[in-house]
Structure 1
Amino acid sequence: MSGEGVRERIERSWPELSPVERQIAQLLLDRADDDLAAWTTTELADAAGASKASVSRFVRRLGFGSFAQARTAARSLRARGVPTGGLPATPAGPAALHVEHDTANLVRTADALARVDLQACARLVARARRVLVLGWRNSFPVALHLREQLLQARPDVALGPQPGQTVAEEFADLGPRDAVVLVAFRRRTPHAAAAVRLAHAQAVPLVLFTDPAAGPTAAPVAHRFEVPVDGPGAFDSYAAAMTAAAVLAEGVLAARGSAGRDRVHAVGRAHRDLGELESP
């Protein structure tokens, strides 16, 4: 039960709730805002037309020792990337709230990138014999986007896992002359830590894209980029993550020099010959 969100606890406890407790529960359900971290006891009581004592009884009915414990549990779920609430009401509207939040995340990302050796990382990826880009769950779209950008600058960039694919076949022949780029944002699967350990065992340099809340890695990594992905509402935002991927790809293209420019021109010619893209 400790991993449940408030919504799941409400649904499980609904038959035992009193009429007043159901008022409180319905408020949370109707607002799509089961993140108690957004409320104080007084605010929730006032919004539900209940007393603070009723709110206290309600959270105990859900299995929490106190309202403070419920808020702590909600914060813990949100920190792990679990969708736990909707957007707060704002006169500017939801789009403006997302833009404001993503702008703040981009500023934080720029500060984080300024603290790492981006040029050394770009040189590593540019000069590697082969590059394997990995990402599971929500990290996969970022990994896919990064791989497609890296392919503009250099050949031999693989992506995993593909649908129905295991990644052992991609890993088996990697060594010190290659590189792994692991995209592992929160709500990580155990595969991410296993990839770090295997890369270390095979002496493959590894670049890690993760979020600031991530703990220590299972083994040392060559380069670590911490990019915020928290959103203003229930779901994470990957605007800053996509920007960080673009920054690395730009660095790799620059590090490749004339070889990178030749690659871009060759890809462009192939697009034209295949008729894959619309003409401007």
Structure 2
Amino acid sequence: MTTAQAPAPIPAPAPASAPASGAVGDIEHRIEAAMPQLTPQEQRVAEFILDHVSELAVYNSSELAGMSGVSKATVSRLYRRLGFASSHEVREHVLARRSAGTPLGAAGAPAASPEGVAALLASERENLARLLDALAGGTLHAVVSALVEAREVLVVGYRNSYPVALHVREQLVQCRGRVRIAPQPGQSLGEDLADLGEGDVVVLVGFRRRPARFAEILDAVVATGARCILITDPSGRALAARADLIIECPLESPAAFDSYASAMSLVSLVASAVLGADIRRGRSRIAGIDATYRGLAEIEGV
């Protein structure tokens, strides 16, 4: 009589606990590579996982087995074949990816349902409250003073940070002159840093899923002699010692993607405070900009 042997594990090229996002070690890629070798029951739970990746951070093997209609042993066997030692390791894998900003979706009410909308609203309120608490210790005053006194302000942002950086520039330029954004589309950063020095301020926006060499970019900014204001999320806390000032914007959301509502609120708050710091100069600049709008017929209703 021959004894049936368990299928050999499929090797994973990256550690299961913290694979690089998008790398072949992600659980989806492991499943796709393994799918032709899985049993029908294993394929059943594998397909369920592909549709509910984020729920792996919430449910244990028994609960996942019940939802996918297979046995707990099948779930455990599948995890081993994918290179995970346990359901705990799978949860750590998913949580690490979510913490890095990978849009996995979330377990719970669908985003478009009344319950999902209510959860989103509660999350946004919490994020804003946490941001305002962090600003209460004098950080906001220090940031505003730096921006008011700066000879020139350069705002830098990459990838998902670029829209927030652009909003910083568009709001500040209403209040004061000499505000630039970098890098421009298709351009490098070196030219924009070359003329900076003492008396200038760089607002560096760097939310999670930053460029791989973001720390080197921060060091290059600091090396110019300009003051650096870093706007980031809690994942950028390790960079705090390199910047002159740091503001953390919570990005957590029950939806699949990070929320930048707190970051946009921060921009509005800072720009309003910069305008209020020298209201006469600010109003004079706004009036001049509006006159140019009218002369060029650029803006509706101006």
Give the corresponding residue for 1:13.
Answer: 34
Q: Distance in 1 between matches of 2:185 and 2:271?
A: 24
Q: Distance in 1 between matches of 2:55 and 2:232?
A: 24
Residues 206, 236 of structure 2: 8 Å contact kept: no
Q: Please, what is the CA RMSD of the aligned residues?
A: 1.8
Residues 35, 84 of structure 1: 8 Å contact kept: no
Residues 197, 219 of structure 1: 8 Å contact kept: no
Offset of residue 192 of structure 1: 2.7
Offset of residue 117 of structure 1: 2.2
Residues 180, 199 of structure 1: 8 Å contact kept: yes
Structure 1 runs not aligned, ≥5 long: none
- Secondary structure in structure 1 of the residue aligned to 2:148: helix
Residues 201, 228 of structure 2: 8 Å contact kept: yes
Query: Is 1:200 the equivalent of 2:222?
Result: yes
Give the corresponding residue for 2:194.
Answer: 172
Q: Which deviates more, 141-150 or 6-15?
A: 6-15
Query: Is 1:135 the equivalent of 2:152?
Result: no
Once the two structures are aligned, what percentage of the paired residues are identical?
41
Of residues 26, 40, 52 in structure 1, which corresponds to 2:60? 40
Q: Distance in 2 between matches of 1:7 and 1:256?
A: 54
Query: Is 1:147 the equivalent of 2:175?
Result: no
Q: Distance in 2 between matches of 1:85 and 1:26?
A: 16
Q: Distance in 2 between matches of 1:149 and 1:103?
A: 23
- Secondary structure in structure 1 of the residue aligned to 2:156: strand
Residues 6, 34 of structure 1: 8 Å contact kept: no
Offset of residue 41 of structure 1: 1.6
Residues 240, 246 of structure 2: 8 Å contact kept: no
Give the corresponding residue for 1:56.
Answer: 76
- Secondary structure in structure 1 of the residue aligned to 2:235: coil
**Aligned pair in 2 of structure 1 residues 119, 150: CA closer, same or farther (>3 Å)?**
same
Offset of residue 131 of structure 1: 0.6
Give the corresponding residue for 1:76.
Answer: 96
Residues 200, 219 of structure 1: 8 Å contact kept: no
Residues 176, 203 of structure 1: 8 Å contact kept: yes
Offset of residue 195 of structure 1: 2.5
TM-score of the superposition, structure 2-length normalised? 0.87
Residues 132, 158 of structure 1: 8 Å contact kept: yes
Of residues 66, 81, 85 in structure 1, which corresponds to 2:86? 66
Q: Distance in 1 between matches of 2:300 and 2:272?
A: 24
Offset of residue 233 of structure 1: 2.6
Structure 2 runs not aligned, ≥5 long: 1-12, 20-24
Deviations 1:64-109 (A, max 9, x none): 1111111111111111111223452256243333222222211111
Offset of residue 181 of structure 1: 0.1
TM-score of the superposition, structure 1-length normalised? 0.93
- Secondary structure in structure 2 of the residue aligned to 1:148: helix
Indicate the structure (1 or 2) with the bigger Cα radius of gyration: 2
**Aligned pair in 2 of structure 1 residues 194, 256: CA closer, same or farther (>3 Å)?**
farther
Of residues 275, 283, 287 in structure 2, which corresponds to 1:261? 283
**Aligned pair in 2 of structure 1 residues 180, 35: CA closer, same or farther (>3 Å)?**
farther
Q: Which deviates more, 213-222 or 161-170?
A: 213-222
- Secondary structure in structure 1 of the residue aligned to 2:114: coil
Offset of residue 38 of structure 1: 2.5
The amino acid that maps onto 2:142 is A
Give the corresponding residue for 1:23.
Answer: 44
**Aligned pair in 2 of structure 1 residues 177, 100: CA closer, same or farther (>3 Å)?**
same
